[in-house]
Homo-oligomer: A and B are copies of this chain.
Amino acid sequence: MSRPSDLIQGTLDLLILKTISTEPKHGWAIAKRIQHVSDEALQVTQGALYPALHRLEQQGWVSAKWRKTETGREAKFYQLTKAGAAQLEKELAQWERLSNGIGLVIRLA
C-alpha cells in the first residue's frame, strides 16, 4: 500500500496532545519526544508536525507562546488547553476502541 510510514494516519493529534499533557513543549521537542518514548517506532516528520500543531491551535486545543529553550534559543511552546484536555480524552477513548477492535480481528479473524 503506501510507503512504510512511521505513523498511523490520524493518530498524530493524539500523540501531540498526550506529549504536551504534562508540560508545555515546543514542536521540535514534541517530535523528538514521540520518537524517543515510542522506542523509535514512531517518527514525526516536520511536514506532518507543523501543520498538525497549527490545526490543533486553530481548534483551540493548544495555545502557543514564544519562549526561550534551556539552550537559549527562541521556540514556540505549545500548551494544552482545557478543551484540549477534553479532546485528548476523546481521542484516547477512540483509540482504545478502534485499536482493540483491530486486535479482535487479528486474533479471531
Contacts and interface: CB of A to CB of B under 8 A. Distances in A.
A53 interface: no
Given A18-B106, A18-B109, A106-B18, A101 B2 contact: no
Contacts of A13: 1-2
B41 A100 contact: yes
Contact of A2 (B7, B10, B18, B41): B10
A11 to B, nearest CB: 6
Contacts of A55: 1
Provide the main secondary structure of the chain A interface.
Answer: helix
Interface size of A as a range: 35 or more
Contacts of A11: 8, 102
Interface of A: 1-2, 4-11, 13-15, 18-19, 21-22, 34, 37-39, 41-42, 55, 59, 91-92, 94-95, 97-102, 104-106, 108-109
